[in-house]
Amino acid sequence: MLRQTAAKAFALVLCLMMIFGLSHPAKADDTFFQRMHTGQGLFVSQRKKEQKPQTALVSKVLNKLSLGKFIQRGVASYYGVGDGFQGARTSSGRRFNTYAAMCAHRYLPFGTIIRIVNLKNGLSTTCQIWDRGPFNSRILDMSWAVKQLLKAGGTVSVAIYRV
């Protein structure tokens, strides 16, 4: 009796495998079979995908965008809200507007258009260099508007590209 039910169950499994095309040997690109042969279950590999670092997301975004020439990578901060800079003259002679896409950099020429990429979340925006600074360990001072577009806090890790 037990042998007959086992034989029927085995025959049923074979029929189902043939119907759904699961009887072929594993192909090189068949990830389901690769996971089964390496001892990883379906759920284990899904957990690994969810635990990827954010730098993988950022590298995908950076590869998809035509960013231009890489200039610098480091920490950026923002200025112009409540510190008296609104409406003041910048180093280039223009008036600072915290609600416009303006940035300060130590050596890039005034009027240079750059793309700033937030390395934590992959968001990017463009702005123009109209001021000099920052005069500390940071690489860029952004206006408040740029900070909001990048969804950044007080300081943020960024990459700068010349457009």
Lowest mean pLDDT among 14-23, 61-70, 117-126, 134-143: 14-23
pLDDT tens digit sequence for 150-159: 999 889 999 9
β-partners of residue 74 are 158
pLDDT band at 9 (very low <50, low <70, confident <90, very high): confident
pLDDT band at 127 (very low <50, low <70, confident <90, very high): very high
Q: Work out whether strand 69-78 and strand 102-104 pair parallel, antiparallel, or are unpaired.
A: unpaired
What percentage of the chain exceeds 70 in pLDDT?
64
User: With contact defined as beta carbons under 8 Å apart, do 140 and 160 qualify?
Assistant: yes
Statement: the pTM of the whole predicted model exceeds 0.85: no
Domain termination residue (choose one: 10, 28, 50): 50
31: enclosing H helix or E strand: helix 31-37
User: Residue 88 corresponds to which amino acid?
Assistant: A
Number of domains in the chain: 2
- The answer on 123 and 110 residing in a single domain is yes
Question: According to the model, what pLDDT value does residue 65 have?
Answer: 53
- The answer on 30 and 15 residing in a single domain is yes
The parent domain of residue 80 ranges over 54-162
Q: Is the pLDDT of residue 115 over 90?
A: yes
pLDDT band at 10 (very low <50, low <70, confident <90, very high): confident
- The answer on 79 and 9 residing in a single domain is no
Q: What is the chain's Cα-based Rg?
A: 27
pLDDT tens digit sequence for 18-63: 565 554 444 444 444 444 444 444 444 344 444 444 544 555 555 5
